[in-house]
Amino acid sequence: MDTKTKDQKIKTLKETVRNIPDFPIKGIQFKDVTPLFKTKESLSMLTEVLYEEYKNKGITKVVGIESRGFIMGPIMALKLEAGFIPIRKPGKLPAEVYEEEYEKEYGVDKIQIHKDTLSSEDVVLIHDDLLATGGTMAAAYKLVKKMGVKKIYVNFIIELDDLKGRSLFPEDIEVKSLINFSI
């Protein structure tokens, strides 16, 4: 039986994140979440901490953003007894989609969601691995909001505080990150 407190678990998870200097370009300190998924112990701990955060929120759908949101998103959906909905890059979803364009640090991109995946009865947890400048998640939030859902929660494993991506979201939206880093 694991007797660690939530803060102790988060500290352990933070220490498990790998820092990759100069990736993908010189000057970037890339925070690699993949070590969190590598062992049964760290993956279980990550799942448990995320589940505890959202278990009483009435979540009916977990929306994961391509591609690393596809790792913990389905795991969280199963734990929360909810469905999983992918948000993908253009051309990857076969049925009718809503699309949202957003600015990235190095250009413009788009994401899409199937039109028939969410309803006004859904309580949605949008999940991705990392909040940096926030463009991708802000676009995902706009897509989900456009679908008229009952409530939206936004979640990240890691947040890079200095990049202030959180500022892109309305104040009434609960945005939570498990692990915070300064860059």
* Rounded CA separation 100/104 (Å): 13
Query: Rounded to an integer, what is the distance from CA 51 to the centroid of its chain?
Result: 13
Long-range contacts at 167-171 (CB < 8 A, ≥ 24 apart): 167/134, 168/134, 168/135, 168/137, 168/138, 169/134, 169/137, 169/138, 169/141
**Cα atoms found within 13 Å of the Cα of residue 182, Cβ hemisphere only:** 0
Residue of 15, 41, 103, 105 marked active site:
105
Q: Exactly one of 53, 68, 166, 174 is catalytic; name it.
A: 68
Instruction: Answer yes or no: 105 catalytic.
Output: yes
Tell me which residues are annotated as active site.
Answer: 68, 105
